[in-house]
Amino acid sequence: MKTYEDLEGDGGSNIVGQVVQLGEKLRSRLDKIKYKVALMSGKGGVGKSSITANIASCLADRGNKVGILDADLNGPSIGHLLGVGNDVQLDMKDDGLEPGIGYQGIRIMSMDMLLKSADTPVMWTDADDATASWVSIMESTATRELMADTNWGELDYLLIDMPPGSDRIDNIRSLIPELAGVVEITIPSPLSQHIVTKSITKNNMMGVPIIGLIENMATYVCPHCDKEGKLFEGEDVHKLTERKEIPYIGKIPFDTRVSQTSQSGSLFYSTFRDSVTGKAIAEAVDNIQNFITK
């Protein structure tokens, strides 16, 4: 395999031209999108993708044109949550790849849509000796391409469903410098609060605006009587938001229907908008919209 040291000039690849072209394409896509918001946590499994999907549902319900970029390349779940499997026929037009259209007309692009079957994992390389930094470069490039090659069209909101890890914001921030902000998500457990705090610190260090923190699975809601109880023991999440001086923007209960609805051809919010959990999602969306438009 050739390395950069072996190349004379750009090796005939016109690499500078290619980078400029990709940059221009990305810029013209971004210019048509009013607000770009990343949803993250640092911690895995706290409900980032489920909340992203339901916030998108609520925004679409309010008449907004919404798209979701699934930035979780190794564990993509947005297609699954919005009813777009990898059997979708991807349509490549002159202007780029047409996004998948999920429930409520939400436009999505996810690595999952590019894989052969639902069971296929993402493989970055066949090489046994691939280094972590090489894989990480390929991941950043893939995210850039998913963003730039997708014909998002005019959007009010592009939500970015982030993978776990507080370092992933670097790449998104460099792709989208005008990010309206990030929404942090935690569950009340001490471990999750510990990890999300690192993500908040990282964003503060980078000057990324933090819209606020959503507490997911804050309580348990009985689907029969709508009564709430505590699910996790842990310090009050409000104390964390006070300490880090960020807004507490949502308290979303654990509700079994959140995972059930993703199997049933709709999004939780659009079916249960009047439930306790539906109203909690709407309140979080009010806070996000107020932050962005103020």
Ligand X SMILES: Nc1ncnc2c1ncn2[C@@H]1O[C@H](COP(=O)(O)OP(=O)(O)OP(=O)(O)O)[C@@H](O)[C@H]1O
Decide: 144 and 170 in contact? Cβ < 8 Å. no
Q: Per CB under 6 A, does 287 bind ligand X?
A: no
Q: Would you count residue 72 as binding ligand X (CB under 6 A)?
A: yes
Q: How far is the CB of 128 from ligand X (least distance, A)?
A: 26
Least distance from ligand X to the Cβ atom of residue 16, Å? 36
Does the protein bind Mg ion through residue 48 (CB under 5 A)? yes
Q: How far is the CB of 82 from Mg ion (least distance, A)?
A: 13
What is the rounded CA–CA span in Å between residue 40 and residue 34? 20
The interface partner of residue 169, options being ligand X, Mg ion, none and the CB cut-off 5 to 8 Å by kind, is: none
Q: Beta partners for 67?
A: 107, 158
The piece of 4-12, 27-35, 60-68, 253-261 that touches ligand X (CB under 6 A) is: 253-261
Closest CB to Mg ion among residues 49, 104: 49
Per-residue contact string for residues 215-234; x = within reach of ligand X by CB under 6 A:
-xx-----------------
**Chain position carrying tokens 């300490």:** 243
Residue 282 interaction partner, one of Mg ion, ligand X, none, beta carbon < 5-8 Å per kind: none
Closest approach of ligand X to the CB of residue 80, in Å: 9
Which positions ≥6 away from 164 have C-beta within 8 Å? 41, 42, 43, 44, 45, 48
When binding is defined by CB under 6 A, the residue of 258, 267, 282, 288 that contacts ligand X is 258
Least distance between Mg ion and beta carbon 108 (Å): 13
Q: Which of the listed partners (Mg ion, ligand X, none) does 164 bind, with a CB threshold of 5 to 8 Å by partner kind?
A: ligand X
Binding mask 49-88 for Mg ion (x = CB under 5 A): x---------------------------x-----------
Per CB under 5 A, residues contacting Mg ion are 48-49, 77
Per CB under 6 A, residues contacting ligand X are 44-50, 72, 75, 77, 164, 216-217, 252, 254-255, 258-259
